[in-house]
Amino acid sequence: MDVLLTGANGTVGTAITENLDHEFTTLDVEGDPDYTTDIADYDAIRPAFDEKEAVVHLAGYPATDATWEQALTNNIIGTGDVLRAASESGVDRVIFASSNHVVGMYEDEHAPALYEPDYDLVVDHTDPIRPDSHYGASKACGEAFGRQYVENEGMKFFALRIGSVRDPGYDHPYGDAERGVEAGKWNRGSEGYQREVARMKGTWLSRRDCAHLVECCLSADRDFEILYGVSDNDRRWFDIEQARTSVGYDPQDNGEEWNSPP
């Protein structure tokens, strides 16, 4: 399949290109992509969409510290441009990197008890959105744009509310805790370290499971789906049954299988 991948040089983008065998056309603002451009520049991105069979849209401001201006330009205007370009070029399938921060206030309300095994909370695609930031709200806006194009243009749209994907060296539930040690934030085994591990054991989406979920969406015969992107973690609070039943997601990793960093 000939796929346009925006944000191709980021953490999620490289997880996809390293694990999937498609003909990817890459677009990013840095590195060495096929198209080096900002997604908020419609005229610059438009040629990248010609003759593509699908778009995996990852580009945008990636964190909850986004200012309103950053969220507006990179995530709202940029995503609007991507969907418009896809529609005008005849691309009928878009996979959109949404975020768990669309519903981040559930975590804010229930943490840190939420991070422990058997905590009684499951958030699924039918629950009300509860954005925790401009970033989370901008991703919710992207989901709404996707629904608009499904209803009005006949596009197929998959919004992946991604949990915690990390670069290869930190692709495990101890990754964030170990980065904290390296940054001098805490010592290994401290309360802060253990809390970070507990959270990641719920939100971790391994790189291979991430790529697999995208692959499922590239072939699924569905019109519109909101799916949670986490691995098969025992202590997850995000539902993955919808992803299993609607697109055939079959994650291979579980944060509980790790008792120490590699």
Q: Which sequence positions are flagged as catalytic?
A: 135
Strands 224-229 and 156-162: parallel
Q: What is the dihedral of CA 234, 61, 16, 212, to 10 degrees?
A: 30
Q: What are φ and ψ of residue 169, in 5° steps?
A: -70, -15
Distances (CA, A) of 229 to 6, 161, 189, 192: 18, 6, 28, 25
Q: What is the largest CA-CA distance in the chain?
A: 53
Please spell the DSSP secondary structure of 200-256, one letter per residue: HHHHB--HHHHHHHHHHHHH---SEEEEEE--S-TT--B--HHHHHHH-------GG
